[in-house]
Amino acid sequence: MKIEPESLYMQIGQIIATMPDLTRVGHYSNDVLQWLGRAAALIEASGDIADSVTFRNLTGRLHFQGMRPSLTQEIALLLHRALARAEIRAPASAQGSFIPVGESFSAVAAVSKVLAGARQTVLIVDPYADAKVLTDFAVLAPEGVQVRILSDAGTVKPSLKPAAESWSKQYGAARPLEIRLAPARSLHDRIITVDDAQAWTLTQSLKDFAARSPASIVKVDAETGGLKIGAYSVIWQEAAAL
């Protein structure tokens, strides 16, 4: 199976992010079996024949329930090894998109790569935004860039407002900030847009980014990105100030 390097990197990252609990007792559902088949195909596509054979041997022994914990760890290791191979071959702009669980520095670095390219505006859409969206991430945007945060009136965290007040006191016009809230339960995506021209999707809220499970930040294709930027521009216009 021939897959372009960037696509392979993205697909392996997604398969890791959606890895099911293989240690559970009983028969696997069709969804789990499909996941195992897809994972096997992607490891094969990554180009290491030995790892591909090993993966198939490991999955073939999963019916031994007592062995599942150790087999699951070995399967995860093979997938991360395939991800590392794919990342080396992927374009520099795509590298670092997938962040293993617990790697807070890698999470900051991945978001920093996106925000650093902004020249005019950054929009961060996060239904569960808290102080961390400002203290850990928005501050990574270049000075002078307008930062806009769009959150959800029903799920925004109380710490966001005092953090925004502290931000404004410290930075003033040097780092313009505006926060708005969409109607409760109306936001479902977590997105970053840059200069109303490019968009990235995040698999988790920034307050928990890669804290408890692997996370990813992936650039959206131009057509889909344009649609999302347009849609969230409308929501932003209709949202209420924090």
Are 170 and 157 spatial neighbours (Cβ–Cβ below 8 Å)?
Answer: no
> Which amino acid appears at position 125 of this protein?
V
Q: What was the pLDDT predicted at 166?
A: 97
Q: What was the pLDDT predicted at 206?
A: 92
Mean pLDDT in each 10-residue stretch from start to end of the chain (242 residues)? Answer: 81 85 83 94 92 94 89 92 89 74 75 92 97 95 97 97 97 96 93 94 88 79 90 96 93
Give the separation between CA 100 and CA 13, rounded to whole angstroms: 10
pLDDT tens-digit series, residues 156-165: 999 999 999 9
Q: What was the pLDDT predicted at 147?
A: 97
Domain ranges of the chain: 5-89, 98-241
> 3-class DSSP state for residue 148?
strand
Top-tier CATH class for 98-241: alpha beta
| pTM of the entire predicted model | 0.72
Task: Give DSSP secondary structure letters for 163-219.
Answer: HHHHHHHHHGGGS-EEEEEESTT-----EEEETTTEEEEESS-GGGTTTSS-EEEEE
